[in-house]
């Protein structure tokens, strides 16, 4: 039996990972300080024998050491997300995302953890205008949040080279799906708009709606984590060497992978799709129109991933395109909000 530690396990992505791996018989230790995660996300797991919840903070090294005891693989999801939040409070973002990340790396190294898989971010691409986004071509960060996620990649690469711990970064692109919180000042766009539509309110679109994103359904993220956690070391090394040989000589050679579908949806198209899906449950929603306002600082116009490296090295095959995912998410919110 593999023993997993999942940090941020009461959050949106973390709770879905806890649910999946617990259901497959893995021994799962979930760590969360409940600052942005919720006990309701893992309540259905609390009496499962192979699930263990520890309330604690990754900024406390002793807690990090405790949760990685006898652990085979760490799935590090804990972070303080949101670009706007990081702009408003860069110190707290830095403390959680860099200090906490380093604590988990040190604890995992000292405990002899075999593999450390962590949530990286598409925000690392910064001001790069190249589309689709390829792992070896990044720009300058546009927010404190983006800086912290890039520093995570640098730390992980150094720890792999110096200490031999296998680190794999998964650059998530606009993940959405069940349990993503629609409340709070920094709620993501999809749950925020779904909540507004269900309440017969007009959602706000930043800009003219032409900005686009590679929206990624949660089940694709679960697949990527499963592959990253358990691909055999020899196979990972071999596939990486083959892929890296195809890159320009000066390109960075690290274990970072895009996790997305490889699609592109404008905000206007997203709004129409969410409205259409929710109108199946409430016909009045079909008449709601969005309200447009100024773009947010730190937002990039377009984001679309190349998933060629993730497919080639990890064997990633995303099953949910954005349209199918929007339908699944709307049905979940309608039944659970």
Q: Tokens representing 97?
A: 């995302």
Q: What whole-number distance in Å separates Cα of residue 229 and Cα of residue 109?
A: 16
Beta strand extents in 233-299 (DSSP E only): 256-259, 265-266, 291-293
Find out whether 123 and 146 touch, Cβ atoms under 8 Å. Answer: yes
Q: Which residue ranges of the chain lie beneath pLDDT 70?
A: 1
Q: Can you give the pLDDT at residue 248?
A: 86
Q: Which residue has the tokens 């730190």?
A: 298
Q: Can you give the pLDDT at residue 156?
A: 98
Q: What whole-number distance in Å separates Cα of residue 22 and Cα of residue 69?
A: 18
> Which CATH code fits 189-212+263-305+320-336?
3.90.25.10
Q: Which residues of 31-60 are buried (b: 16+ CB within 10 A; e: fewer)?
A: bbbeebbbeebbeebeeeebbbbeebbbbe
* Structural domain boundaries in the chain: 3-176+217-261, 189-212+263-305+320-336
DSSP letters, 139-173, are ----SHHHHHHHHHHHHHHHHHHHH--EEEEEEE-
Q: Tokens representing 31?
A: 């760590």
Q: Can you give the pLDDT at residue 254?
A: 84
Q: Tokens representing 335?
A: 């039944």
Q: Can you give the pLDDT at residue 103?
A: 98
Q: Can you give the pLDDT at residue 1?
A: 62
Q: Can you give the pLDDT at residue 187?
A: 87
Q: pLDDT tens across 50-90, in order?
A: 999 999 999 999 999 999 999 999 999 999 998 999 999 99
Q: Can you give the pLDDT at residue 250?
A: 81
Active site residues: 145
Distances (CA, A) of 23 to 20, 27, 224: 5, 10, 17
Report domain 3-176+217-261's class.
alpha beta
Find out whether 58 and 6 touch, Cβ atoms under 8 Å. Answer: no
Q: Can you give the pLDDT at residue 185?
A: 78
């Amino acid at each position: 039996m593999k023993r997993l530690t999942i940090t941020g396990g009461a959050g949106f992505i973390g709770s879905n990972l806890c649910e999946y791996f617990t259901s497959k018989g893995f021994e799962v230790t979930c760590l969360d300080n409940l600052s942005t995660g919720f006990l309701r996300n893992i309540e259905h797991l609390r009496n499962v024998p192979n699930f263990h919840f520890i309330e604690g903070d990754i900024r406390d090294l002793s807690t990090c050491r405790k949760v990685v005891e006898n652990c085979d693989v760490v799935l590090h999801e804990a972070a303080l997300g949101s670009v706007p939040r990081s702009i408003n409070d860069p110190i707290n973002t830095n403390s959680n995302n860099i200090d906490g990340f380093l604590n988990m790396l040190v604890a995992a190294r000292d405990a002899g953890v075999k593999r450390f898989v962590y949530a990286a971010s598409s925000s690392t691409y910064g001001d790069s205008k190249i589309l689709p986004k390829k792992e070896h071509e990044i720009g300058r960060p546009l927010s404190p949040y983006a800086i912290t996620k890039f520093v995570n990649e640098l730390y992980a690469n150094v720890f792999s080279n110096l200490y031999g711990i296998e680190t794999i970064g998964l650059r998530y692109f606009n993940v959405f799906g069940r349990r993503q919180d629609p409340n709070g000042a920094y709620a993501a766009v999809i749950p925020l708009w779904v909540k507004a539509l269900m309440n017969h309110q007009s959602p706000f679109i930043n800009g003219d709606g032409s900005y686009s994103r590679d929206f990624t359904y949660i089940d694709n993220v679960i697949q990527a984590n499963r592959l990253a956690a358990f691909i055999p070391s020899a196979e990972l090394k071999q596939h990486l060497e083959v892929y890296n040989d195809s890159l320009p000589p000066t390109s960075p050679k690290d274990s970072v992978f895009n996790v997305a579908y490889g699609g592109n949806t404008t905000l206007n198209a997203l709004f129409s799709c969410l409205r259409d899906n929710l109108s199946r449950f409430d016909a009045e929603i079909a008449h709601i129109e969005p309200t447009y306002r100024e773009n947010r600082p730190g937002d990039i116009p377009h984001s679309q991933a190349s998933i060629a490296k993730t497919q080639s090295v990890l064997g990633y095959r995303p099953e949910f395109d954005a349209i199918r995912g929007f339908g699944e998410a709307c049905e979940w919110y309608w039944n659970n909000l």
